[in-house]
Structure 1
Amino acid sequence: KQFWYFILGLLMDPSKKEAIQWTGRGREFVIRSLPTVVTLWSTEQGLLSTLKPDSILRNLRACYKRKVMIPVGIKTNRYAFHTEVR
């Protein structure tokens, strides 16, 4: 599963609002608990140990390069999906 699709799945799951949620501004979202997102991604990947938060940040940067997401407020963990996913 691609990382951006995993993030979208979390955003669509109401039970994950403590970890990640839409801001209400278009396609913008905020990661409220990076450790929780890291744990969920590690589980999704079938890893026995939890990844480091840097791996999530690296995945987010890869999404910028592929023009899937853009950073809105990196210090506040706010990001947005591009209008057209390529």
Structure 2
Amino acid sequence: MFNKIAPDKWKHFFVGIPMGAVLEVASAMMFPGSPLLAALVALAMIIVISYGFELFSLITGKGHYDVMDAVASIIGGIIGMLPGALVYLA
């Protein structure tokens, strides 16, 4: 099942993991005592950055526009949010 996923999608997925962790920690620091708000802000930023990068590729012609690349980054970012939250809470 996982061997059918294109290699470039895996790159986006693995880049999304540290992005999610960093954004979760940054959001938790910005909104102490509000873990839900911090998580929602981090998720919103992950979505904006992931899709924004693809839009940048489309508009400038630098790179290849593919919505599924953004989806892979977002999934990785969501997974990365958990260790980010655990690091901040520890």
The TM-score normalised by the length of structure 1 is 0.33
- Larger relative strand fraction: 1
Q: Which has the higher contact order (CA 8 A, sep 6+)?
A: 2
- Larger relative helix fraction: 2
